[in-house]
């Protein structure tokens, strides 16, 4: 298990060893996080959801 800090609350987030970029993780603080892997470094960022388009 990997352990990374939440960018919002600073608490520990546990990720499986085989985590993939783009995976979505819900944390205890209520935020939804996206896994980012860049240069073999794993980080988390708040998920930017797609807003609905009502055609207005």
**Domains in the chain, please, with CATH?**
2-46 (2.20.28)
How does pLDDT run along the chain (56 residues), one tens digit per residue? 999 999 999 999 999 999 999 999 999 999 999 999 999 899 999 998 665 666 65
* Neighbouring-strand partners of residue 45: 34
Kindly report the average pLDDT of the chain as a whole number: 89
* Neighbouring-strand partners of residue 35: 44
Q: Which residue has the tokens 């980012």?
A: 36
Give Cα 10 distance to the centre of its chain. Answer: 13
């Amino acid at each position: 298990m990997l352990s990374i800090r939440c960018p919002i609350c600073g608490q520990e987030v546990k990720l499986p060893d085989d985590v993939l970029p783009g995976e979505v993780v819900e944390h205890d603080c209520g935020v939804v996080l996206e896994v980012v892997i860049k240069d073999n470094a794993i980080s988390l960022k708040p998920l930017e959801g797609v807003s609905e388009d009502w055609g207005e």
